[in-house]
Amino acid sequence: MSKLWGGRFTKKTDQLVEEYTASIMFDKELAEEDIQGSLAHVTMLGKCGILPADDVEKIKDGLLKVQGMIRRGEMEFTIGDEDIHMNIEKALIDEIGPVGGKLHTGRSRNDQVATDMHLYLRKRVVEFVGLLGKLQEALIGQAKANVDTILPGYTHLQRAQPILFAHHLMAYVSMFQRDAERLMDSYKRINMLPLGAGALAGTTFPIDRHFVAQQLGFDGPYENSLDAVSDRDFIIEFLSNASMIMMHLSRFCEEMVLWSSTEFHFVELDDAFCTGSSIMPQKKNPDVAELVRGKTGRVYGNLFGLLTVLKSLPLAYNKDMQEDKEGMFDTVRTLQGALQLFAPMVSTMKVNKDRMRQAVNQDFSNATDIADYLVNKGLPFRQAHEVIGKTVLYCIQNNKFLLDLALEEFHQFSKLFEADIFDVLQPERVVNARNVYGGTAAGQVEGAIGRAEKTLEQT
Ligand code: ARG
């Protein structure tokens, strides 16, 4: 079978080389974008008088026919035609004859493939902002149902201070908001047109890059032709944004795994989002959370893979850059899967309010508050810290919690304690005492929920 670039060659390509260098197995995913770009390119060729109008019409008709074939699954992609660009061009020529060979006038696969990638990623970014929004909605829904649910907050995975479960969930809403904003910000760097850069230096034809950009909805063409064909930083930026999202998800996953264990038993994941064991009948495993946590590794890997491919690559296009695709597609699929599953997993999760509350009743997470109590009575904080440290030690040695102590016992440590200490130590009081902007007091958390809902509406 003859190659589109066969003229200079006297020998057939080695079969293994053909297989090794082909990308059609994976870049066929860019078929829609490739045709979209070609339609805009050929329209421009007509507008600029580079091709006669009837050639342009024939080529457009042909491209739409090829598009139909691909959509119906009738197109036979071949490794002999290497990649999606040449498979489509070949099919076009088969469809409309030699006039199809005029499509590639003033264009190279180098600016063509870069254009396809921009078109592809632009769509994905919009999609991911939407999916993040759905996840935020699910988190906000659970937060609203849990503005009175108190659980221990942790530092070093040791009980620290009681917090509202809603406050904990809203922390993730903030993280995913920044993730969405990062994606939206990246859009302007993705929404640029490489086409017209030619192989590397531009083209001798009087093309109109601004017209093509406008037709494809890009903000404008790349400023520099070398940059246009050799830039993959927009993909790296996406892979980095995706890694950040997976990192955030994986932290939540870890908490789900911990919290759904018998030891914590703070939440119960819905049966539909868990799987069983082939041997142990009692098991209900949080597989989705574990897998999202695990798949974070491959998403980081794809980021590092492409960073490393691009490292030290001389300008402009190098075949190495064909390696930009599989990792990107893999990251897109992995992220789609994670986000699609996460929202319903969160909204169907059962929150074990009583169990969380029980945990708070049996810990020292109210210790900071009696230190603050003594400070309010005039003791310097450092001394108050010492007094309460001793009080806690006494409790541990006597198998008690702070709320179990009698006022006389408190007095062993400081005469400043009065009967109101027992109110101060109540978990609700402890939570609501943190009434600063961004704090865990119920009023603050309700305010945060309201603001998050408003932001989501505007996104
Ligand atoms: N399949 C190639 C890629 O994905 C398209 C560009 C090929 N250009 C070239 N000069 N060989 O990078």
Residue 203 has pLDDT above 60, yes or no: yes
Q: Which H or E element spans position 66? A: helix 53-71
* Residue 23 alpha carbon, nearest atom of ligand 1: 1
Taking all residues of the chain, what is their mean pLDDT, rounded to a whole number? 96
ipTM of the modeled complex: 0.96
The active-site residue out of 277, 365, 385, 414 is 277
325-350 per-position pLDDT tens digit: 999 999 999 999 999 999 999 999 99
CA 127 to ligand 1 centroid distance, Å = 27
* Residue 84 alpha carbon, nearest atom of ligand 1: 1
Identify which of 34, 79, 113 to mutate to test ligand 1's pocket (most ligand atoms within 8 A of the CB).
113
CA 113 to ligand 1 centroid distance, Å = 7
The DSSP-derived string for 348-396 is: HPEE-HHHHHHHHHTSSTTHHHHHHHHHHTT--HHHHHHHHHHHHHHHH
- The fold for domain 12-105 equals Fumarase C; Chain B, domain 1 (1.10.275)
Output the CA angle 100-76-110, nearest 5 degrees: 55
Q: Give the pLDDT score at 3.
A: 85
Ligand 1 neighbour 23 (Cβ under 6 A): yes
Ligand 1 neighbour 317 (Cβ under 6 A): yes
Q: Looking at 6-15, 220-229, 404-413, which range is the least confident one? A: 6-15
406-445 per-position pLDDT tens digit: 999 999 999 999 999 999 999 999 999 999 999 999 999 9
49-81 per-position pLDDT tens digit: 999 999 999 999 999 999 999 999 999 999 999
Ligand 1 neighbour 110 (Cβ under 6 A): yes
3-state class (DSSP) for residue 146 = coil
Distances (CA, A) of 185 to 82, 129, 233: 34, 11, 14
Q: Give the pLDDT score at 297.
A: 98
What is the Cα–Cα distance from 154 to 161, expressed in whole angstroms?
A: 7
- What's the rounded mean pLDDT across residues 118-122? 98
Give which of 90, 122, 119, 94 is closest to 104, Cα–Cα.
Answer: 90
Residues contacting 261, CB < 8 A, separation 6+: none
CA 25 to ligand 1 centroid distance, Å = 14
Q: Give the pLDDT score at 386.
A: 95
What is the Cα–Cα distance from 391 to 409, expressed in whole angstroms?
A: 9
The active-site residue out of 156, 240, 278, 414 is 156
Domain with CATH 1.10.40.30 in the chain: 359-458
Give which of 122, 46, 121, 59 is closest to 92, Cα–Cα.
Answer: 59
What is the Cα–Cα distance from 242 to 179, expressed in whole angstroms?
A: 8
Give me the amino acid identity at 263.
E
CA 21 to ligand 1 centroid distance, Å = 9
- What's the rounded mean pLDDT across residues 242-255? 98
Identify which of 34, 229, 319, 328 to mutate to test ligand 1's pocket (most ligand atoms within 8 A of the CB).
319
CB 214 within 8 A of CB 221: no
In sequence order, what are the beta bridge partners of 162?
152
Report the C-alpha dihedral over residues 152, 157, 159, 164, rounded to 10 degrees. -20
CA 351 to ligand 1 centroid distance, Å = 52
Domain with CATH 1.20.200.10 in the chain: 110-150+165-200+220-352
Class level of CATH domain 110-150+165-200+220-352: mainly alpha
Residues contacting 129, CB < 8 A, separation 6+: 180, 183, 184, 459
CA 229 to ligand 1 centroid distance, Å = 10
Residue 1 has pLDDT above 60, yes or no: no
Q: Looking at 51-60, 191-200, 359-368, which range is the least confident one? A: 359-368
CATH of domain 359-458: 1.10.40.30
Tokens read off for 104: 């590639």
Please name the residue whose Cα sits nearest to atom 1 of ligand 1: 83
103-115 per-position pLDDT tens digit: 999 999 999 999 9
Output the CA angle 415-420-425, nearest 5 degrees: 100
Residues contacting 326, CB < 8 A, separation 6+: 26
Cα 457 from chain centre: 20
Annotation says 38 is catalytic: no
Annotation says 277 is catalytic: yes
Please name the residue whose Cα sits nearest to atom 2 of ligand 1: 322
